[in-house]
Amino acid sequence: MQNERLGPDARNVDEIVLPHLDAAYNLARWLVRNPPDAEDVVQEACLRAVRFARGFREGNARAWMLRIVRNVAYSFLEKKRPSELTEEFNETLHVTEQGDAETDLVRSVESKLVQEALEALPARFREAVILRELEGLSYKEIADVMEIPIGTVMSSLTRGREQLRKLVLASRRKEAQRAVHD
């Protein structure tokens, strides 16, 4: 039996919220770009999810949870860093120098290049790419999480992937030039 003052029963929370905490943190970290802020966003999202778990009937709990995380992250950004929500992609501003000269493993360099490139993407493209490529969501699930049409998901992914590719290639060229001059 469920005590109304305590909210939804623990089974619902265990089934709906807890299995998706890693994905929630991953999305929050990429959206707000700061681990402590991401922890705060996930904590707030979990509180909201617990509060509204009774309203979740059936469907994709992961997409439902990630939509809550997304909404909390954007609310956070609106309050704390509104400029990040309106930032347009400018390749000359976002292509950063590779600063880890001590890294000698190609995989580490590639990982760092991709991470820097992902961080440089505008929020909408970064979000779509993260949800698809790192979280493995379908186009429909991404559309549900981002609350946009599937066609917009597809165009955001196409544009995001293209910008990501350009950023990684530009970083590789800079890395190669630096290696030649060192």
Report pLDDT digits (tens) over 13-34: 777 888 899 999 999 999 998 9
Q: How far is CA 51 from the centre of its chain?
A: 23
When mean pLDDT is compared across 58-72, 85-99, 122-136, the lowest value belongs to 85-99
Spatial distance between the Cα atoms of 33 and 27, rounded to a whole number of angstroms: 10
Rounded mean pLDDT, 97-105: 39
DSSP state of 88: P
Asked whether the predicted pLDDT for residue 100 surpasses 60, the reply is no
Q: Which of 179, 176, 177, 167 is nearest to 96 (CA)?
A: 167
Please report, for the chain, the start and end positions of each structural domain, with discontinuous segments joined by +: 1-86, 89-182
pTM for the predicted model, two decimal places: 0.64
Contact present, 52 and 8 (Cβ < 8 Å): no
pLDDT given at position 4: 41
Q: Which of 173, 179, 180, 181 is nearest to 91 (CA)?
A: 173
The residue count for the chain: 182
60-72 pLDDT, tens digit each: 888 899 999 999 9
Which is higher by pLDDT, 97 or 63? 63
pLDDT given at position 44: 95
Domain 1-86 shares a fold with domain 89-182? no
CATH 1.10.1740.10 correct for 1-86: yes
CATH 1.10.10.10 correct for 89-182: yes
